[in-house]
Amino acid sequence: GMHPGLYITEINQDLAIADSELVVGDTIIAVEGKSVTNVSQVSEILRDMKPGDVVEVTVVRVDAIGRDKEISFDVELSEYSGS
């Protein structure tokens, strides 16, 4: 199903959280527990953080038999945050 969130169509290396467990097809629904629906909201949350900081990312991922699963993982920010 479609969840409100940021749907990942490609892993864009400019995204500070790209170097992580994210996979194409994930929908990012929260960063640091704050709901997000677009890239600018993600950037807003990450703005005050530094490369090397760890943030919690929550995604909805469809499993092999088509069920939505919510997954959270920690991501260490890459050098790109703030761009």
Q: Exposed, middle or buried, 16 (CB in 10 Å: 0-12/13-18/19+)?
A: buried
Residue range 22-37: average pLDDT? 94
What pTM value is reported for the model? Answer: 0.82
Count of C-beta atoms within a 10 Å radius of residue 35: 12
Report residue 83's pLDDT band, with 50, 70 and 90 as the boundaries: very low
Indicate if the pLDDT at residue 26 is higher than 80: yes
State the average pLDDT for the chain.
Answer: 86
Report residue 2's pLDDT band, with 50, 70 and 90 as the boundaries: low
